[in-house]
Amino acid sequence: MPTMTYTATIECDGVVSEPLTLTVDVIETNGLKHGAGYVEVPSTLAGVVMNAADYATVTTDEGEMFKILFSKVRFPECVAEFVTDGPVPEGRRVA
């Protein structure tokens, strides 16, 4: 299972983050890439992420978009865990 990283912004319930680094463990099924991962979020965004009512939209620094659903936030690190909804674009592979 390859691991990809993305530099991207996240829009969650109308709040848009500064550029962040997302890490996604990618699973390929029938040619589509999807997976689960984590992102360090600033404390100002942690409450929004914890109470997200819907999928968040990730926009990569290359303009590609995909959806994620947050599952939990680990404190005190402010690391949010998520699963993707649908395919993810090609990111930078982590060795």
pTM of the model: 0.84
d(CA 36, CA 82): 6
> What tokens appear for 18 in the block?
């500064």
State the CATH architecture for 3-89: Beta Barrel (2.40)
Tell me which of 50 and 56 has the higher pLDDT.
56
pLDDT tens digits for 53-92?
789 999 999 999 999 999 888 888 889 999 998 778 776 6
Predicted local distance difference test score (pLDDT) of residue 40: 92
Which sequence spans correspond to the domains of the chain? Answer: 3-89
Q: Which of 65, 70, 25, 22 is nearest to 46 (CA)?
A: 70
